[in-house]
Amino acid sequence: MSRLYLSFLAALSAAVAIAEEKPDILMIAIDDLRPMLGCYGDERIQTPNIDKLAASGVVFERAYCQYAKCGTSRLSLMTGLRPGSIGVFSNNLRDVQKFRETRPEIAGIGQWLKNEGGYHTQSWGKIYHDTWDDPRDWSVPSSPGRDREMWEIADPENPAKPTMIAERWDCPVMQSPNVPDDHLFAGRMTADVLAFLRTREEKIDLPVFLAVGYRRPHLPFIAPKKYFDLYQPDDSWLAKNPGPPEKSPVKAWFNSDGYVGGAKRIGLEMPRDPTREEAIAWNG
């Protein structure tokens, strides 16, 4: 009987010890990535590292974006609140500033882990939308330069030279410079994160929450040439449904500056937008 009791105590102690452990957390945010991935059954797209992660963890097959606006969706994710509870429905900085002024008691993931969980919290790249970062979330200031990545391009005359920052309406839609990963912001950021992970135990005696945000594959489509060389697109890559998605709301058809509007502003001819009547007819 005493042996059974001791075994029970040992098992209970082990369970308590496991519960008290605080694992390191790495959150990776990727902008505009659709589920064309190997782990979701796509046989053309080469995503070996994401597939390995999926194979060793949990793949969500019914996951949905909180809102069809970057700022609102990210703010909802980071606070755990629905867009309706936040009251922010645009990418306007003024709206999120008003939200934080009127609801200062609402903490983001980073702030909660830092203040309540005893974590060192740190971010790289795009986690909140552009300049929306809440400094209360992080133990150290957010990584600099992330706001420049959106318009970072390779020098058209000499891609090996340091990258340039293009004007918003004079930015190429696609570039494939023959350069190493760390020539572009995403590669340099990845190297910085890896360097931190290799040495962090020497500097920080706390569990860590690291948030790493990549802007790509958001427009403009710029990446080292070796990644474009993995694919030889042909007609089979073209959408089989060139019309609007079935039963999509009329509001979903809009003149996005990030996709269509920018091309129009620099003089490219684009197919006209559907009229309201056409959109309603297509959607039944």
Q: pLDDT for 67-115, tens place per residue?
A: 888 889 999 999 999 998 988 888 888 888 888 899 999 999 999 999 9
Question: Any idea which residue has 């990776």 for tokens?
Answer: 28
**Which residues in the chain come in under a pLDDT of 70?**
1-20, 144-148, 168-169, 242, 244, 249-284
**pLDDT of 14:** 47
3-state DSSP assignment of residue 132: helix
Helices (H), the chain: 2-20, 48-55, 70-79, 83-86, 93-102, 109-115, 185-203, 225-228, 262-265, 276-282
Residue 8: predicted pLDDT? 40
CA distances from 74 to 69, 212, 220 (A): 9, 13, 20
pLDDT in tens, 39-54: 999 988 899 999 999 9
139 secondary structure, DSSP code: S
Among 97, 98, 117, CA closest to 109: 117
Q: Tell me the HSE value of 217 on the side-chain side, using a 13 A CA sphere.
A: 8
Q: Which residues contact 217 (CB under 8 A, 6 or more apart)?
A: 30, 31, 32, 33
Active-site amino acid positions: 70, 129
Amino acid at 220: P
